[in-house]
Structure 1
Amino acid sequence: MGMPSVQISFSEKAITAVQRGNHGIVALLLKDKSVQKITESDSGATTDVEVVEIETATDIPLTISEENQKQIANALIGYSNPPKEVVAVIINNEAAAYTEALKKLETIKFNYLAIPTVETDEQTQAVVTWIKEQRENDRLVKAVLPNTAADTEGVVNFATGKVYINNTEYTTEQYCSRIAGLLAGTDMSISATYAPLPELTDCTRRSKKDMDNAVDSGKFIIWHDGEKVKTGRAVNSLVTTNAKKGDSFKKIKLVDTMDLIKDDIKKTAQDSYLGKYPNTYNNKCLLMAAIQTYFDSLIASNILASATVDVDVAANRTYLKGRGEDVSSMSDDDLKQANTGSTVFLTAKISILDAIEDIVLPIEI
């Protein structure tokens, strides 16, 4: 008869997790005169929003400016893989704010957002606020923004002054599209640390001390090692840690893995479990077994080092006490099997595999 449907759904998610992680989606918010100009409405100034989905360079629309075509092409380069897709959200080049485009982006699936005019348009803080709101609402999107000390794992603070492709100069904000594509195209089992950027011939140069300080302050930089241009340590803008968010949340690779797992479990449970099973202990065990199967597949793919899931006994106890039940004589097994209404309280512990980024090798002579 095969496995129950919920287990099959989680197994399928696990099988595709690595592929989806390797091929993220980049959203580019672009301004172009090809889109209808701003019009006045009862709600104030608005602009039409055009959405174009691009999988390969041949899909890049020729109706937009040459500069915007280059932005899309740069995002498509990727790293170990190209991104799965670039979604261009295009507004008129006279639009003063990004309100309409951000509303549209709330309905579009993507992993990394870049906006090559965000600093020029003085919209950086508005985008930071929007990213934080999205993540607070469990929409785990991220943005690559120029020179932005956002102090959040949802924003990568790209902070290299200028880069050069032969005689063509790109400012920090103009090169964010390339960085977003690089991060979206990084294999889940590796990080974007020291990723080569073969198209670059030079960049703003800094001392070793300056680069160390930049990384410590949550800046994603690129540098010239004397032979080629490559990225620094792949960190996001988070610098303030606490008991819930430690140093692991500073690493782009680890946050990408956390976001992937949260998204998979939430969406698969919604599609294949919620509302479809009575809340019995046996069915809770069914869900736990399915999630554990998902974790085990990620372990086999070298994304996780270890992972376990179980009923949250403490949460069950608190729930029952809140409903006036006497839990003083209940064992852990009793609490696990207790009726918890429509809620399943689970707890999981995972250990995410990081990439090799530091080597310690004392050499005796």
Structure 2
Amino acid sequence: MATQWDPTNLPIRPGLYINFKEAAIAQINGGDRGIVAMPLFTYTGGTATAKQFYTVENEVDATSLFGAANVQPIKFALQAGAAEVLVYTMPATPADADHTDMREAFEARPFNVFVYPAGATDAQQDNTLTWCQTNREEGKHFMVVFGGDATSDQDPVEGNANTARLDDDYSVNVIVGVTTSETNYTSGQYAPYIAGLIAGKQINQAITYAVLPVDDVTKRLRNSEIKTALQAGSLVLTHDGEKVKVEQGLTTSGKKIRSIRARQAISTDLAKVARDSYIGQLSNNESGQTSLIAAITAYLETLENEDVLILPDMEDETPAVQLDPNRESVGDSVFLLINYTEVDSMERIFITIQL
């Protein structure tokens, strides 16, 4: 795994270490995509047993495992575009320790987005965010999607307060529920759909203005409330008079989900390439360093072709990948600098008509 490193305390374990600096351009997405992780608390009527992992790719298997009455969160994630849902079955009467055990168990499994199936207490949300942050520091990158209850869904001020409490680049907080012809869902209950939407998107796509297959939202916010929520970093669902859509794909820190997913996966992808093909196999000399730089450059060029990022012009004095001039790459350590600009989605169009 690619791990954040401290220049004053270099890591000991062999690996490729990437340091994300806030002054740098947001990174790009890559790696395995489309996996939503969630715990499941009720699974009567199925064959599943407690404290086990199950990988689900379709509704039929979900129903067989967990019972038809319990699979709506899984259906939401799959319907939104997730390739699969990684489910962990919780014990019948889970205590705080069981939540901790569940989160720690997920650490050994690959996934892209974590979500509770029907919301969680403030304490469990806080613990989950701390867990996500700890994993990020240790090199495992994923997003977490939160939501509220019926009360907070009716009060955007409370929803935005929850967003502030969950402030983080890797965190998403939905503050409006949805209605269908059959029932209403709180933002917490609908969060698995948003998790699937995020996980299922291609790396050159945003979820902004994604149309949702529901009839309405549980509360239509005024224009001023929508702007305030966006400024707070809340993920707002709106009805535009014809359809329900995601107003803007934002994390609770106010950054673009597309950009954060990009940051997460460049670390994952480059670490995997280094682990599979380079660590322990290249000499740390000019020839080996040139080969490593060429491989990373080729990876970035592929992403440039996919409209994920823009590399410096050939005439630019700063190459896309180079040895760090401030740190000597000797012994078993190589220090690299990577330079590129991300491609954002077109989300605001300003037109002036001259007569």
TM-score range, shorter chain: 0.7 to 0.9
1:342 & 1:29 partners in 2: Cα distance? 41
Equivalent pairs counted in the alignment come to: 302
Match of residue 311 from structure 2: 306
- Structure 2: distance between partners of 1:129 and 1:256: 18
Distance 2:65 2:301 in 1: 47
Deviations 1:279-315 (A, max 9, x none): 1111001000010011111111111121500011112
Q: Distance in 2 between matches of 1:191 and 1:33?
A: 33
Deviation at 1:200, TM superposition (A): 3.5
Q: Does 1:212 align with 2:227?
A: yes
Indicate the structure (1 or 2) with the bigger Cα radius of gyration.
1
Query: Would you say 1:154 and 2:170 are equivalent positions?
Result: yes
Matched residue of 2:311: which SS?
Answer: strand
Determine whether 1:361 maps to 2:318. Answer: no
- Corresponding residue number in structure 2 for 1:44: none
Name the SS for the 1:236 alignment partner. Answer: coil
Asked if 1:346 corresponds to 2:336, the answer is: yes
* Structure-2 residue corresponding to 1:102: 103
SS in 1 for 2:66: coil
Check whether the contact 1:49–1:100 (CA below 8 A) recurs between aligned residues: no
**Given that residues 113 and 143 in structure 2 are in contact (C-alpha distance below 8 angstroms), is that contact kept between their aligned partners in structure 1?**
yes
1:263 match: 268
Q: Give the 3-state SS of the residue equivalent to 2:208 in structure 1.
A: coil
Counterpart in 1 of 2:120?
A: 119
Cα pair 1:203 1:224 within 8 Å, conserved: no
Taking a change above 3 Å as real, the CA distance of residues 170 and 189 of structure 1, as seen in their structure-2 partners, is same
Alpha carbons 1:96, 1:121 under 8 Å: kept: no
Shift of 1:67: 4.5
Identify the residue that residue 193 of structure 1 maps to in structure 2. Answer: 208
Q: Distance in 2 between matches of 1:121 and 1:152?
A: 15
Q: CA RMSD in A?
A: 2.2
Shift of 1:278: 1.7
Deviation at 1:56, TM superposition (A): 2.1
Which secondary structure does the structure 1 equivalent of 2:327 belong to? helix
| Paired position in structure 1 for 2:183 | 168
Query: Partner amino acid for 1:90?
Result: T
The percentage of counterpart residues that share the same residue type is 30
Q: Write the mapping of 1:242-261 to structure 2, written as runs, cut at 5 A.
A: 250-261=255-266
Q: d(CA) in 2 for partners of 1:59 and 1:290?
A: 40
Report the Cα distance in structure 1 between the residues aligned to 2:306 and 2:115, rounded to whole angstroms: 29
Counterpart residue number, 2:21: none
Alpha-carbon spacing, 1:151–1:90, altered in 2? closer, same or farther (3 Å): same
Structure 1 CA distance, aligned partners of 2:43 and 2:29? Answer: 39
Q: Report Cα offsets for 1:49-81 as digits up to 9, x if no partner.
A: 121101122221434254431110011012xxx
Per-residue CA deviations over 1:19-69 (Å, capped at 9, x if unaligned) read 957x4210111112549xxxxxxxxxxx94121101122221434254431
Counterpart Cα distance in 2 of 1:30 and 1:169: 20
Distance 1:252 1:360 in 2: 23
Give, in angstroms, the shift of residue 126 of structure 1: 0.8
**One-letter amino acid of the counterpart of residue 205, structure 1:** R
1:85 matched to 2:99: no
- 2:143 maps to 1:128: no
2: CA distance, partners of 1:73 / 1:315: 50
**Offset of 1:273 from its aligned partner?**
0.8
1:215-234 paired onto structure 2 within 5 Å: 215-234=230-249
Instruction: In structure 1, give the amino acid aligned to 2:194.
Output: I
Q: 1:135 to 1:19 in 2, by over 3 A?
A: closer
**Structure 1: gaps spanning 5 or more residues:** 1-16, 36-46, 240-249, 317-338
Alpha-carbon spacing, 1:205–1:351, altered in 2? closer, same or farther (3 Å): same
Q: CA deviation at 1:191?
A: 0.5
Q: Spell out structure 1 runs of 4+ moving beyond 4 A.
A: 17-21
TM-score, length basis structure 2 = 0.80
Residue 326 of structure 1 corresponds to none
| 1:192 CA drift (Å) | 0.2
The answer as to whether partners of 1:77 and 1:181 remain within 8 angstroms in 2 is: yes
Distance 1:260 1:292 in 2: 16
Letter in 2 for 1:268: V
Provide closer, same or farther for how the CA distance between residues 135 and 105 of structure 1 changes in structure 2, counting only shifts above 3 A.
same
| Cα distance between partner residues in 2 of 1:19 and 1:290 | 15
Q: CA deviation at 1:107?
A: 0.9
In structure 1, the residue matched to 2:22 is: none
Higher-strand-fraction structure: 1
Alignment partner, residue 146 of structure 2: 145
Residue 290 of structure 1 is matched in structure 2 by 295
Structure 1 residues 19, 103: closer, same or farther in 2, change over 3 A? closer
* Aligned 8 A contact 2:37 2:85 in 1: yes
